[in-house]
Structure 1
Amino acid sequence: MQPTRSLPLIALTLVLAACQSETPRTVAPLPAPTASNADLLARGEYLMRISGCNDCHTPGYGESGGTLAKDAWLTGSPMGFHGPWGTTYASNLRLRMQQLTEAQWLEYSATLRTRPMMPDFAVRAMSEDDRRAIYRFVHALGPAGQPAPEALPPGKTPPAPYFNMVLPAVPEAPVAK
C-alpha cells in the first residue's frame, strides 16, 4: 500500500467533486441556423447550374458551354420535345416564378408532375431548402422573355425546331414450340 500516492488522487477527486453543481444543468439547444437570403441565392444559382435546368430552359446555354450571362437564363425555349405524348416545351421559369409565392412554389414543387422530357422526379427528390433556394434565385432574376409555346397533343406535328423522340421497338417475345 502506498498512502503517499493515493492521497493526491483523493484530494483531486474531492476538488473535482466540489466544482460540480448539485443538480445537473440543462442547456437549451441552439436554434438551427437559417440561411441568409444571400446564401439562398448562391445555393439556388449553384443548383440551377449543376442540375441541368439551363440545358432545356435557357436557349443556347449548352451551345455556349454554360457561359451565357444570367440575364439570359431560364426564359423558356421554342425547342420542342416531340414524342408519343405530344410535344413539350421547356417553360419560362422566370415568368412562372413571378406568378407564385414561395409557399406556393414549395407546395407545387414537392408534388411536381410534368410532361416528358422534364425530370420532375429530380425536383421532387430535392430538399425543401434546395427548392426554396431555387425559388429565391429564379424569382430574384426577375421576369424576362416570352412564355414558351403551349404543349401540343399527340399526333400533331410541331413546327421546327424540335427533337423527335422515337421510342425503340419492343422485340417480340419468342414463340414457344
Structure 2
Amino acid sequence: MKPKSIFSEEPHVVGKSQVEIGAYLAEVGGCHDCHTPGWAQAPGNVPEDQLLAGSPVGFSGPWGTSYPANLRVSVQASTAEEWADMMKDRNGLPPMPWSTVNHMSREDLMAIHAYINSLGEGGNDIPMAVTDGSGPHTAYIWFMPEPPENHAANR
C-alpha cells in the first residue's frame, strides 16, 4: 500500500503577500539552517544582510564537499517562474533536501523567490562543490554517521 501523498500543486500557505508567505516557508522549511551564516547559533537573530547569503562552511561526505549556496544570487539571476521551474527539476549534492523541494507547489516556490528577492542583492562568495577527492579546502561538517565505538574512543 502506497501512502497518500500530501504534495499537490496547490499552495498550502496563505498570507498577506508573496513575500510574507515566502518568509514563512523559508523559515519552517529550514532554508536558513544552512543558507544563513550564524542561524544555528542565534535563530532569527541574524543581520538581514546575511539572510540566505550562503555559507563557506562545507558539508563533507562520500560525495565530496558541498556548500550552502548564496540564494540571493540565484534569485537575482532568474524570474520567479524560471526559479520555480529550476527548483522543481533540480537534483544536487547532499545535504540539500532536493526531493522535498521538488515536491513543493510552483506557487510556494515562487513565494520563496519573492521573499529572497525582497532581501536584495548581496551575500557572500561561496566556494564551488569539491567532488574530485581533493577537498575539503574550508571549514566543514563531516556529514556521515560514525559507529558508537569511534565516539567513545575520541572522548
TM over 0.5: yes
The runs of 4+ residues in structure 1 deviating greater than 6 Å are none
Is 1:166 the equivalent of 2:139?
no
CA RMSD of aligned residues (A): 2.1
Q: CA deviation at 1:154?
A: 4.1
1:74-89 matched pairs, under 5 angstroms: 74-89=52-67
Q: CA deviation at 1:38?
A: 5.2
Greater gyration radius:
1
Task: Indicate the SS of the match to 1:87.
Answer: strand
Whether the aligned pair in 1 keeps the contact of 2:55 and 2:124 (CA below 8 Å) is no
Any idea what the Cα deviations from partners look like across 1:39-87, whole Å, max 9, x if unmatched?
A: 1110000111111000000110110133213332000000001111111
Letter in 1 for 2:74: R
The normalised TM-score by structure 1 is: 0.70
Task: Indicate the SS of the match to 1:152.
Answer: coil
Is 1:140 the equivalent of 2:118?
yes
Task: Indicate the SS of the match to 1:163.
Answer: strand
Looking at structure 1, the residues matched to 95 and 134 of structure 2 have their Cα atoms a distance apart, in angstroms, of 17
Is 1:51 the equivalent of 2:26?
no
Matching residue of 1:119? 97
Matching residue of 1:92? 70
Structure 2's unaligned 5+ residue stretches are 1-13, 148-155
Q: How many residues were matched structurally?
A: 135
- The percent of aligned pairs where both chains have the same amino acid is 36
Q: Flag the 1:88–1:162 CA change in 2: closer, same or farther, 3 A.
A: same
Looking at structure 2, the residues matched to 40 and 158 of structure 1 have their Cα atoms a distance apart, in angstroms, of 38
1:54-73 matched pairs, under 5 angstroms: 54-73=32-51
Q: CA deviation at 1:159?
A: 2.4
Task: Indicate the SS of the match to 1:48.
Answer: helix
Structure showing greater relative contact order (alpha-carbon pairs closer than 8 Å, 6 or more residues apart): 2
Structure 1's unaligned 5+ residue stretches are 1-35, 170-177
Looking at structure 2, the residues matched to 136 and 37 of structure 1 have their Cα atoms a distance apart, in angstroms, of 13
Task: Indicate the SS of the match to 2:26.
Answer: helix
Q: CA deviation at 1:103?
A: 1.6
Matching residue of 2:80? 102
Q: Single out whichever of 83-92 and 123-132 deviates more from structure 2.
A: 123-132
Matching residue of 2:3? none
Whether the aligned pair in 2 keeps the contact of 1:87 and 1:154 (CA below 8 Å) is no
Looking at structure 2, the residues matched to 132 and 153 of structure 1 have their Cα atoms a distance apart, in angstroms, of 30
